[in-house]
Amino acid sequence: MNIARGRFASAVTKLGPNNHTLFDTTCQPLMPEAEGFTCSEDGLSYTVSPTPQECGSDVVSDPWEWWAEHGSPRYALGPMAGCTAMPFRQLVRENGVGLTYVAMVSAGAVCYDEDTKNRMLADIDDTRDSPVLVQLVGNDPSEFAGAAATIPRDKVAGIDVNMGCSAAKAHKRAYGSKLMTEWPQVIKIMQALRECAIPITVKTRVFRSVERSVALCQLLVREGAVCLCVHGRFRDAGRTYSAPVEVDILRAIVQSVNVPVIVNGGVTSLQEADALIEKTGAAGVAVAHRMLANPALLNPTPPPPPALCQSYLAHALAYTTDVSGQRLYLNETKANVYRILRNTLKTRGLVEAVRKCESVPEIDSLLREEGVY
């Protein structure tokens, strides 16, 4: 079912398969006199708008025009940490992906650690990877602003705020999905980034309540988010990939905001990606960890793993001349090669040989000599 953008269905008391109060999916706009839900988090109350929330961005007048300027990407590589440097992003672009994220980086580290900042900047190049978003993680508004100030505006589509990481350390250190319950702090972060005059996007998750989920997403859009990427699993689900995706909540979020929404979670094939877009009415779908083992997951005519790995290493060979942190990058390359060629490497007894390689050219030479490609 396609749902027109920016139309918020009327609210009804109907229980869905997961015992959630759902929004009717008839796409009928709410009547002007309809009362919105009021939700509170960390001492801040927000009343859900009965009509789609308009964007409060100071630099993007129409989020849909911004989306179109970047090609209206249907498929995105979801943001991750330590595994999606530019060669991998180039690989997935060759296989159907239209939007990528620079690997998640700490806003504080960008501000205070020169090596981290330089690695991030070396990983941004609009001639090879565009459109791309830079995802920052943290909880300090001044650090978000400081990190954003280092990023070249003409080479990225925007800054993404990580409010989706559900790892235990994220909750302990009050970042990632922990920010979902700290609305006053989120507003400070969004306001700090708005002063940097760069488009802001947000990656987040859903609550167990559809009302709270919608309230949070409308709040983010009101504070300037031009695009949302919403993982359809609960914020307290941890790093599990087996929990069900809350399609009903995702659909309600899409209907409640007048900005592009990318939905995320549970996609294992191109058919499932298209089905999730169809069921939610989203502007696009993002796939993250499953793309690591299958970078051609969103390609209708995927090449075999050896060909994928050969293409990946070709990009990696061109990349190593201008990236800092060579050892860190080498470890990432080995990990990605193993994920793509896992069965082949195990069958041929090459896992240890790849692990011992001391450079990207050495990995490439080994796989050629062994006839992998």
Q: Are residues 39 and 99 in the same domain?
A: yes
- Comparing CA positions, the residue from 360, 297, 294 lying closest to residue 327 is 360
In a domain, 1, yes or no: no
> For all residues of the chain together, what is the average pLDDT?
88
pLDDT band at 304; cut points 50, 70, 90 = very high
Residue 86 among known ligand-binding residues: no
The pLDDT assigned to 328 comes to: 73
Residue 237 among known ligand-binding residues: no
In a domain, 58, yes or no: yes
Q: Are residues 194 and 339 in the same domain?
A: no
Q: What is the mean pLDDT of residues 235-257?
A: 87
> How many other C-beta atoms can be found within 10 angstroms of the C-beta atom of residue 320?
15
pLDDT, tens digit, 9 for 90 and up, residues 202-223? 999 999 999 999 999 999 999 9
Q: Are residues 251 and 364 in the same domain?
A: no
Q: What is the mean pLDDT of residues 12-28?
A: 33
Checking 324-327 for CB contacts under 8 A at 24+ apart, the result is 324/115, 324/118, 324/119, 324/122, 325/115, 325/119
Residue 208, class by beta-carbon neighbours within 10 Å (0-12 exposed, 13-18 middle, 19+ buried)?
A: middle
| Domain endpoint, select from 240, 264, 293 | 293
Residue 79 among known ligand-binding residues: yes
Whole-structure pTM over 0.85, yes or no?
yes
Work out the angle at residue 223's Cα, subtended by the Cα atoms of residues 220 and 224, and round it to the nearest 5 degrees.
90
pLDDT band at 30; cut points 50, 70, 90 = very low
Q: What is the mean pLDDT of residues 50-71?
A: 96
| Domain endpoint, select from 293, 327, 356 | 293
Dig out the tokens for 97 from the structure: 């992906």
In a domain, 104, yes or no: yes
CATH of the domain at 48: 3.20.20.70
Residue 315 among known ligand-binding residues: no
The pLDDT assigned to 192 comes to: 98
Residue 95 among known ligand-binding residues: no
In a domain, 253, yes or no: yes
Q: Are residues 315 and 277 in the same domain?
A: no
Residue 289 among known ligand-binding residues: no
Q: Are residues 72 and 190 in the same domain?
A: yes
Q: Are residues 206 and 344 in the same domain?
A: no
Residue 18 pLDDT greater than 70, yes or no? no
Cβ–Cβ under 8 Å, residues 263 and 276: yes
Query: What total of structural domains would you count in the chain?
Result: 2
Q: Are residues 246 and 330 in the same domain?
A: no
Check 111, 165, 217, 357 and give the catalytic one.
165
Q: Are residues 107 and 173 in the same domain?
A: yes
Residue 346 among known ligand-binding residues: no
The pLDDT assigned to 321 comes to: 55
Residue 257 pLDDT greater than 80, yes or no? yes
| Domain endpoint, select from 293, 327, 361 | 293
Q: Are residues 241 and 362 in the same domain?
A: no
Q: Are residues 354 and 251 in the same domain?
A: no
Q: What is the mean pLDDT of residues 163-168?
A: 84
Cα distance between residue 306 and residue 368, in whole Å:
10
Q: Which residue has the higher pLDDT, 81 or 19?
A: 81
The pLDDT assigned to 329 comes to: 86
Q: Are residues 200 and 267 in the same domain?
A: yes
- Comparing CA positions, the residue from 273, 256, 272, 287 lying closest to residue 3 is 256
The pLDDT assigned to 23 comes to: 35
Q: What is the mean pLDDT of residues 132-139?
A: 97
pLDDT, tens digit, 9 for 90 and up, residues 68-121? 999 999 999 999 998 999 999 999 999 999 999 999 999 999 999 998 999 899
In a domain, 4, yes or no: no
Q: Are residues 278 and 331 in the same domain?
A: no
Cα distance between residue 334 and residue 122, in whole Å:
20
pLDDT band at 45; cut points 50, 70, 90 = confident
Q: Which residue has the higher pLDDT, 31 or 118?
A: 118
> How many other C-beta atoms can be found within 10 angstroms of the C-beta atom of residue 105?
23
Residue 5 pLDDT greater than 70, yes or no? no
Residue 162 among known ligand-binding residues: no
In a domain, 288, yes or no: yes
In a domain, 166, yes or no: yes
Q: Which residue has the higher pLDDT, 6 or 141?
A: 141
Catalytic residue flag (residue 165):
yes
Residue 336 among known ligand-binding residues: no
In a domain, 6, yes or no: no
Range of the domain at 324: 305-369
